[in-house]
């Protein structure tokens, strides 16, 4: 190199110009940025884990709007299954009506009848027995009635025994033990009581009786031999009988099935819009994709209209049995 | 590299931790759902504690119920107040991860909505401490390995680089030398690889550059020479001087010592060299060059420069040209104009190899310039000569006008004036006799009348000589007949007419020109030819008209007369009678030729001493 000249690495040394070096640097940094995940992630927060308080004093503010419509339900299956079903059903109602709905879970030992009657919930999917009680106590109205798998808005109850039982008719039940569903259950309690009463058997004529939490529990109680007979919904009883697990000794008449009831204070326009949405509900067709196992419910084919007179007979029986306090 | 590895591995481990936390949260949330919905919070609490105990890295777990209250948590003494707000999952999301900086290290809070659509949340805090410890260990290991690899790689790269770049450095220095102009230096080729190929290419490029530069220099030399020649040829100098300067410039440009230029006349005959340079002042040599046929003609026939190896008969052979050398050969450059040889340029040499192809090419270009200069000089000379003749013609016209005035004056004085004077005497006599003798008086008056009539006839003759009205009134043939009658037949010369074609009136300028040509020819015959018979032929054609006047007189040498006129050998200021006659005849011939050429016609004169003369003029019509 001639004396008096300084080596300029930016210009000609090794043939790399300043622009080339800059490009190389940018490429290297970009590769590093890509290789390292392009991002540093969420913004970090400082939390003092030693600054503790009593847990009961710490409450998150509510994140739901106060004007949400509250929907309750009669427990029928495993609670999380019920919740998943009705949450998906509420997404349908929200899309159809434009209202926001929130699911209310009545605690174990709580009463959906009271929740609905006192306005804790605005709408509820309830059985006929619960409805009779709620109407009697709080003036609750039935909006629509459910359609079962056969497309009927009525259902029946069965009286079942073990297949090796000596009980062959309702009359044989005198002096025997019997399992019923929950006291508010129509198919598990009210209708079997009607069936017994129509042959002259009252509770006092039984050797023993008890209320289970569900039709399944009632069936288990009979099949295990803990009770001589049990009153359960027709669909489950027929399925068990077809498999040879139980024997059906009596079949009831048809009575109005479960439906969607509404608190009397809900504004009429909201009632009407929700009623129309329920009548438009198509769980086997158009609306099926948004639903979660809706066929497990007592209204797998949707809903139909309802009349108050449909419930007169059942109301009389319920009063007679002291179910309407 | 270590930094990248640290970041990449760290991110991967954290991602893995997050994924594991989300999977655990999902599983735990599903198992917590039923007890949570049934408000069996003790079950929830136990499930959280079991999860914290069984899952590594779990720092804490807690559940927020549907009403926003804490349902269960794994902290032993109360719950951290800020934690409940640290990671709030938006309603539209089911999970959210939040990085927390705590006194226990960095914790990733995995928030999981227990069931989509419900406000209950499960949170699991995963501590990164184990990851960071593992990461530090791994990073240290990678750094150590990287450092070792760098040292080893750098050493190897340095050795390899030195091995690879040395030939490149040598090549670069050689290329720099080439760039500085040392084209004769060859780059040594030490290998057969790409560098060797590059060196060979550089050498080839240098050779090509050298050749190109040589060509450019040669071209530049040629241009300089041509420029010098052009300068030498410029200027209003005589041809000989111009050629001398051009010859010197040529010798300087080509580096030769001697040369000469020969010019040919129109018949192709040699003349002594018009100029020479570097030759001894030996007129014998020059005359020999003129008289002896030379191989130079080969170059003229080939019409291109050639190198002539001299034969023993060539007078230039052995002529000394300085520095102890003698002429053994010479390059001959033909000087051509329109395929016609004007002369040759000869450049003397000692040996034929001195005349390279480039030298011959340059000499050819110089020859072209010299030819143009010679041709131009000759054309200028011709023009000058014609201008001079035109001046002489004008002088003749003026003289002829004066002669005509003199003749008219003389005729008026000798004849008309005398006749009028005699008329006055007769009239005085008639006046004197009128009172005495009327008969005598009448005779005087008749005599006076006859005198007046003759005078009028004489005046008519004078006027017709100036311009016969016949020419304007009747046309060319009557005017020529009148002229022949007055100029020839009066002198006893027989005139034979030969008219071809239908006589028509011609344009005035054509009739005038042919009349004057015929009048001049007849005047010359009357004055000089001593002819007995003259034949006048007039040919009328649609495109032209021809006048031919032939006599059987003494004739003359046309070339001699014309040459004398051209070379101005006739002294017009003091002419002898004979010379005056030659001048008059010569100028008359030139005047006739001039009249014909002015109208785009042709003029020809044929004469042989003792065999008469024929003058022919042909003038186009329109």
Tell me the C-alpha distance between B322 and B77, whole Å.
128
Classify A74 as helix, strand or coil: coil
Contact A60 B117 (CB under 8 A): no
Better-predicted residue by pLDDT, B404 or A316:
A316
Tell me the C-alpha distance between B312 and A230, whole Å.
158
* Contact indicator for A136, A120 with CB cutoff of 8 Å: no
C-alpha distance from residue B40 to each of B32, B44, B51, B52, B163 (Å): 9, 7, 17, 19, 80
Decide if pLDDT at B279 tops 70.
yes
CB contact B578 to A (< 8 Å): no
Question: How big is the A-B interface in CB pairs under 8 Å?
Answer: 124
Q: Confirm whether pTM is higher than 0.80.
A: no
* Contact indicator for A90, A101 with CB cutoff of 8 Å: yes
Task: State phi, psi for A188 to the nearest 5 degrees.
Answer: -90, -15
At A107, the pLDDT band (50, 70, 90 cuts) reads confident
Task: State phi, psi for A144 to the nearest 5 degrees.
Answer: -145, 160
Neighbouring residues of B384: CB distance < 8 A, sequence distance ≥ 6? none
Tell me the C-alpha distance between B21 and B88, whole Å.
17
Which of B3, B85, B115 lies at the smallest CB-CB distance from A87?
Answer: B115
Mutate to test the interface with B, among A14, A34, A60 (most CBs of B within 10 A): A60
B-chain CB neighbours of A54 within 8 Å are 78-79
CB contact A59 to B (< 8 Å): yes
**Distance in Å, alpha carbon of B203 to nearest chain A alpha carbon:** 23
Counting other chains too, the contacts that B203-212 makes at CB distance below 8 Å and 24 or more residues apart are B205/B178, B206/B178, B207/B183, B209/B183, B210/B183, B210/B184
Within the 51-110 window of chain B, which residues sit less than 8 Å (CB to CB) from chain A? 60, 64, 66-70, 73, 75, 77-86, 88, 91, 97-104, 106-107
At B165, the pLDDT band (50, 70, 90 cuts) reads confident
Tell me the C-alpha distance between B165 and B116, whole Å.
68
User: Is residue A24 exposed (0-12), middle (13-18) or buried (19+ Cβ within 10 Å)?
Assistant: exposed
Which of B11, B64, B118 lies at the smallest CB-CB distance from A60?
Answer: B64
CB contact B554 to A (< 8 Å): no
Within the 454-473 window of chain B, which residues sit less than 8 Å (CB to CB) from chain A? none
Classify A277 as helix, strand or coil: helix
User: Is residue A283 exposed (0-12), middle (13-18) or buried (19+ Cβ within 10 Å)?
Assistant: buried
Quick one: pLDDT at residue A13? 42
A-chain CB neighbours of B92 within 8 Å are none
The token pair at B10 is 């760290």
> Mean pLDDT, chain A, as a whole number?
87
Quick one: pLDDT at residue A192? 96
Average pLDDT rounded to a whole number, residues A6-10: 43
B-chain CB neighbours of A50 within 8 Å are 80, 103
> Mean pLDDT, chain B, as a whole number?
83
Quick one: pLDDT at residue A2? 40
* Contact indicator for A138, A117 with CB cutoff of 8 Å: yes
Neighbouring residues of B477: CB distance < 8 A, sequence distance ≥ 6? B499, B503, B538
Quick one: pLDDT at residue B585? 62
Better-predicted residue by pLDDT, A87 or B171:
A87
Average pLDDT rounded to a whole number, residues A168-177: 95
Give the percent of chain B with pLDDT over 90.
21
* Contact indicator for A192, A121 with CB cutoff of 8 Å: no
Decide if pLDDT at B489 tops 50.
yes
At B311, the pLDDT band (50, 70, 90 cuts) reads confident
Decide if pLDDT at A194 tops 90.
yes
Quick one: pLDDT at residue B570? 40
* Contact indicator for B454, B462 with CB cutoff of 8 Å: no
CB contact A47 to B (< 8 Å): yes
Q: How many CA atoms lie within 13 Å of B481's alpha carbon, on the beta-carbon side?
A: 9
Quick one: pLDDT at residue B587? 64
The residue of chain A nearest to residue B2, with distances taken between CA atoms, is A32
Decide if pLDDT at A130 tops 70.
yes
pLDDT digits (tens, 9 = 90+) for B427-485: 988 888 888 888 889 988 998 898 888 888 888 777 777 777 778 888 899 999 988 99
Quick one: pLDDT at residue A7? 41
Counting other chains too, the contacts that B447-454 makes at CB distance below 8 Å and 24 or more residues apart are B448/B423, B451/B419, B451/B422, B451/B423, B451/B426, B452/B423, B454/B419
The token pair at B219 is 């071209």
Quick one: pLDDT at residue A10? 44
Q: Which of B294-303, B557-566, B568-577, B597-606 has the lowest mean pLDDT?
A: B568-577
Tell me the C-alpha distance between A161 and A170, whole Å.
11
Quick one: pLDDT at residue B337? 84
Within the 385-444 window of chain B, which residues sit less than 8 Å (CB to CB) from chain A? none
Quick one: pLDDT at residue A35? 55
Give the percent of chain B with pLDDT over 70.
91
Question: Residues of B387-412 as b/e, b for ≥16 C-beta within 10 angstroms?
Answer: eebeebbeebeeeeeeeeeeeeeebb
Quick one: pLDDT at residue B237? 65
User: Is residue A246 exposed (0-12), middle (13-18) or buried (19+ Cβ within 10 Å)?
Assistant: buried
Write the DSSP symbol of residue B225.
H
Tell me the C-alpha distance between B306 and B66, whole Å.
120
Tell me the C-alpha distance between B255 and B353, whole Å.
14
**Distance in Å, alpha carbon of B245 to nearest chain A alpha carbon:** 52
**Distance in Å, alpha carbon of A20 to nearest chain B alpha carbon:** 21
pLDDT digits (tens, 9 = 90+) for B212-230: 888 888 788 778 878 877 8
Tell me the C-alpha distance between A203 and A178, whole Å.
9
In 3D space, the residue among B462, B464, B528, B517 whose CA is nearest the CA of residue B491 turns out to be B528
C-beta atoms surrounding B615 within 10 Å: 25
Contact A55 B79 (CB under 8 A): yes
C-alpha gyration radius of chain B: 63
Tell me the C-alpha distance between B246 and B34, whole Å.
124
Quick one: pLDDT at residue A121? 96
pLDDT digits (tens, 9 = 90+) for A83-106: 999 999 999 999 999 999 999 998
The residue of chain A nearest to residue B6, with distances taken between CA atoms, is A36
pLDDT digits (tens, 9 = 90+) for B368-382: 888 888 888 888 888
DSSP element (H, E) containing B127: strand B121-127
Contact A32 B82 (CB under 8 A): no
Decide if pLDDT at B578 tops 70.
no
Contact B117 A90 (CB under 8 A): yes
* Contact indicator for B94, B116 with CB cutoff of 8 Å: yes
Quick one: pLDDT at residue B586? 65
């Amino acid at each position: 190199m001639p004396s008096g000249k300084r080596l300029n690495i930016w210009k000609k040394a090794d043939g790399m110009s300043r622009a080339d070096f800059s490009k190389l640097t940018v490429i290297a940094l970009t590769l590093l940025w890509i290789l390292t995940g392009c991002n540093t992630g969420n913004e970090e927060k400082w939390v003092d884990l030693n600054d503790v308080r009593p847990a009961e004093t710490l409450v998150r503010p509510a994140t739901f709007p106060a004007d949400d419509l509250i929907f309750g339900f009669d427990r029928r299956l495993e609670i999380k299954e019920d919740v998943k079903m009705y949450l998906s059903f509420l997404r349908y109602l929200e899309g159809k009506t434009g209202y926001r709905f929130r699911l209310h879970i009545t605690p174990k030992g709580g009463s959906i009848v009271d929740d609905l009657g006192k306005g804790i919930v605005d709408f509820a999917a309830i059985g006929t027995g619960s409805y009779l009680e709620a109407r009697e106590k709080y003036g609750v109205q039935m909006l629509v009635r459910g359609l079962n798998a056969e497309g009927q808005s009525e259902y029946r109850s069965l009286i079942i025994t073990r297949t090796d039982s000596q009980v062959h008719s309702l009359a044989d039940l005198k002096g025997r033990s019997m399992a019923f569903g929950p006291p508010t259950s129509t198919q598990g309690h009210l209708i079997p009581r009607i069936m017994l009463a129509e042959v002259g058997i009252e509770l006092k004529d039984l050797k023993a009786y008890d209320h289970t939490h569900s039709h399944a529990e009632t069936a288990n109680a009979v099949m295990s031999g803990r009770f001589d007979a049990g009153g359960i919904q027709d669909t489950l009883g027929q399925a068990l009988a077809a498999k040879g697990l139980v024997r059906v000794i009596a079949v009831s008449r048809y009575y109005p099935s479960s439906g969607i009831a509404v608190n009397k204070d809900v504004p009429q326009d909201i009632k009407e819009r929700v009623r129309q949405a329920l009548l438009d509900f198509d769980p086997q067709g158009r609306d099926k994709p948004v639903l979660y196992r809706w066929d497990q419910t007592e209204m797998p084919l949707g809903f139909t209209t309802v009349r108050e007179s449909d419930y007169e007979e059942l109301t009389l029986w319920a009063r007679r049995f002291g179910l309407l306090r | 590299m270590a930094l990248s590895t640290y970041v990449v591995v760290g991110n991967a481990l954290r991602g893995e931790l997050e994924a594991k936390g989300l999977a655990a949260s999902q599983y735990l949330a599903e198992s917590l759902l039923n007890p949570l919905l049934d408000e069996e919070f003790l079950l929830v609490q136990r499930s959280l504690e079991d999860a914290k105990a069984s899952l590594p890295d779990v720092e804490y777990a807690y559940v927020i119920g549907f009403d926003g209250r804490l349902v269960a948590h794994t902290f032993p003494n109360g719950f951290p107040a800020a934690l409940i707000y640290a990671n709030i999952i938006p309603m539209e999301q089911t999970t959210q991860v939040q990085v927390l900086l705590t006194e226990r290290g960095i914790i990733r809070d995995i928030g999981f909505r227990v069931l989509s659509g419900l406000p209950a949340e499960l949170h699991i805090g995963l501590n990164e401490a184990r990851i960071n410890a593992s990461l530090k260990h791994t990073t240290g290991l990678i750094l150590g390995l990287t450092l070792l690899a760098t040292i080893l790689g750098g050493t190897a790269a340095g050795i390899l680089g030195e091995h690879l770049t040395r030939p490149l450095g040598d090549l670069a220095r050689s290329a720099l030398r080439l760039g500085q102009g040392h084209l004769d230096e060859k780059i040594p080729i030490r290998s057969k690889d790409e560098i060797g190929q590059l060196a060979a290419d550089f050498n080839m490029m240098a050779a090509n550059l050298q050749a190109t530069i040589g060509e450019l220099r040669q071209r530049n030399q040629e241009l300089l020479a041509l420029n010098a020649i052009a300068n030498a040829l410029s200027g209003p100098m005589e041809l000989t001087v111009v050629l001398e300067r051009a010859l010197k410039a040529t010798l300087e440009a080509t580096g030769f010592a001697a040369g000469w230029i020969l010019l040919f006349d129109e018949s192709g005959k040699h003349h002594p060299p018009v100029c020479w340079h570097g030759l001894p002042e030996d007129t014998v040599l020059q005359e020999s060059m003129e008289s002896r046929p030379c191989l130079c003609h080969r170059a003229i026939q080939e019409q291109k420069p050639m190198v002539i190896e001299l034969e023993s008969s060539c007078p230039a052979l052995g002529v000394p040209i300085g520095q102890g050398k003698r002429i053994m050969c010479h390059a001959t450059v033909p000087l051509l104009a329109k395929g016609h040889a004007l002369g040759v340029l000869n450049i003397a040499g000692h040996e034929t190899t001195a005349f390279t192809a480039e030298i011959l090419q340059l000499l050819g270009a110089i020859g072209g310039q010299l030819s143009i200069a010679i041709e131009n000089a000759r054309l200028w000379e011709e023009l000058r000569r014609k201008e001079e003749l035109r001046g002489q013609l004008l002088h003749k016209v003026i003289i002829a006008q004066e002669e005509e005035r003199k003749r008219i004056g003389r005729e008026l004085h000798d004849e008309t004036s005398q006749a009028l004077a005699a008329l006055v005497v007769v009239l005085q006599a008639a006046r004197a006799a009128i009172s005495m003798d009327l008969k005598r008086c009448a005779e005087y008056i008749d005599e006076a009348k006859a005198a007046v009539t003759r005078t009028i006839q004489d005046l008519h003759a004078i006027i017709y000589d100036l311009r016969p009205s016949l020419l304007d009134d009747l046309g060319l043939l009557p005017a020529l007949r009148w002229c022949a009658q007055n100029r020839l037949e009066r002198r006893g010369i027989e005139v034979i007419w030969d008219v071809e074609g239908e006589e028509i009136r011609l344009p005035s300028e054509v009739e005038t020109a042919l009349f004057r040509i015929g009048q001049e020819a007849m005047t010359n015959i009357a004055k000089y030819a001593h002819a007995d018979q003259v034949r006048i032929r007039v040919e009328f054609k649609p495109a032209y008209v021809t006048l031919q006047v032939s006599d059987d007189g003494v004739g003359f040498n046309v070339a001699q007369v014309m040459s004398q006129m051209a070379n101005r050998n006739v002294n017009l200021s003091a002419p002898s009678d004979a010379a005056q006659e030659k001048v008059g005849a010569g100028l008359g011939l030139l005047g006739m030729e001039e009249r014909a050429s002015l109208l785009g016609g042709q003029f020809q004169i044929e004469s042989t001493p003792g065999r008469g003369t024929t003058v022919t003029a042909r003038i186009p019509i329109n």
